[in-house]
Amino acid sequence: MTHPDPGKGGRRVLRVEGGAPLSGEVRIYPAKNAALPILAASLLTEEPVTLLEVPRLRDVEVMLELLAHLGTRYLWEGRTLHLHTPEIRSTHAPYELVGQMRASFIVWGALLARVGEARISLPGGCAFGARPVDQHVKALRALGAEVVEEEGQFYARRTRPLSGRVVFDLPTVGGTEQAMLAVALGGEATLVQAAMEPEVEDLGRFLEMLGVEVRGLGGAVLHVRGAKRLGGGTYRIIPDRIEAGTYLLAAAATRGSLTLTGVRPDHLDALLDKLQGSGHRLEVGADWVRFTATPDPLPLQVEAREYPGFPTDLQPIVTAYLATVPGQSTVTDRVYPDRFTHVGELARMGAELYLKDRTLLIHGKRLHGAQVKALDIRAGGGLVVAALSAEGVSEIEGVYFLERGYEDLVERLGALGAQVRLEETPLAVAAD
Residues 406 and 416: their CA atoms lie apart, in Å, by 15
DSSP letter, residue 41: H
Number of neighbouring beta carbons within 10 Å of residue 61: 12
Residues 415 and 283: their CA atoms lie apart, in Å, by 22
- Sequence-ordered strand ranges (E) for 293-408: 301-304, 327-333, 352-356, 359-364, 371-373, 393-397
Cβ(281)–Cβ(292) under 8 Å? yes
* 126 is annotated as an active-site residue: yes
The Cβ-side half-sphere exposure at 237, using a 13 Å CA radius, reads 29
DSSP letter, residue 87: S
Q: Which residue in the list 126, 293, 300, 385 is annotated as catalytic?
A: 126
Q: What angle do CA 260, 378, 99 make, to 5 degrees?
A: 125
Q: 12-42 burial by CB neighbour count: b if 16+ within 10 A, else e?
A: bbbbbbbbebbbeebebbbbbbbbbbbbbbb
Which sequence positions are flagged as catalytic?
Answer: 126
